[in-house]
Amino acid sequence: MGATLRLSYANPGFAVTGEAVSVTDKTTGRLVELASLISTRVGGIGPSGAVRAELGPALHLWDFDGEFRARFGAIGAGAYEWPVSSRFTGAIRLEGILSPSWFNATDVPPEFERRATWRYGVGLALRYRL
């Protein structure tokens, strides 16, 4: 078992999509994410590698041109870890994050559809064990 507290910062931009067009403005928007993850070993590959599953809540603090919004979401991840030395492990990680739309129902006209905010990521890590 393991636990992680993670703080992330990003400039995700703002996207509007239509039937045949998608416009993304990468000059606006900031996101601060605070996440708490619990992980457990679900299997192994080889004599010392471990496959881990991770799951937890996330708080997303959005800032678009001075307008702040907070949303709660969820993170799910899978990782493969292997020993590098006695104190270091290497890891490759796949994750997905889902949270409600940045918009409130009153922010958009009824003909627009609000969608959940999601993203995914792939990471390579070198960890130090205490």
This prediction has a pTM of: 0.74
Task: Write the pLDDT tens digit of every residue in 11-57.
Answer: 877 777 778 888 888 777 888 999 999 999 999 887 789 999 999 99
Instruction: Report the pLDDT averaged over residues 101-129.
Output: 87
Helix (H, G, I), strand (E, B) or coil at 119: strand
Instruction: Report the pLDDT averaged over residues 104-123.
Output: 87
Pairing of strands 14-17, 2-10: unpaired
How are strands ordered across the β-sheet holding 49-64? 2-10, 30-45, 49-64, 67-83, 88-99, 117-128
